[in-house]
A and B are shown apart, each in its own frame.
Chain A
């Protein structure tokens, strides 16, 4: 069936380095993608989104890249900080499903001091 998944369950990053979190999706009809950050004991928090008619979108210290050819998106975090330690989820929506999000399993990012 259709699914959204992340390549690696964990990522350890040195403070100050850049982080790259990857996500693969299989639903070619997906037209909207969101990255969420979930800190321990909290609900998911919106980070950045991208539509399928875009290849790249930048926010504050974050960039999302979308490669529709290989059905892959990534989240890049510049100058990773201790506060970036969290679980990161990609989620996708296809326009025909009443805006129901499909989530991947998540990548746990740990920032080393």
Chain B
């Protein structure tokens, strides 16, 4: 149990287009999901925290109008990279928090490789 999926696993798009990435918790409900970005040979950097039914909280330096996050249900959060540019090429990883018995645990998805030409 506690599986998080991401779709697509990889995507190539042209500069100026928008790309949507989905994050799903397959067998549990996630009131909170997190979106991270990872450049090659670097660490994971938190972009935003997404709570179901409310606006996402963005980390300092992350443009909320460029990285649109929607958490419409307890099992799905989406990240839309608007007007993508080559510098947005990165590995995007989501995680979902499962509440179990009063304790929390965070599970990561497999990541989405975005390449902007």
Task: Report if A and B associate in a common complex.
Answer: no
Residues of A at under 8 Å CB distance from B?
none
Residues of B at under 8 Å CB distance from A?
none
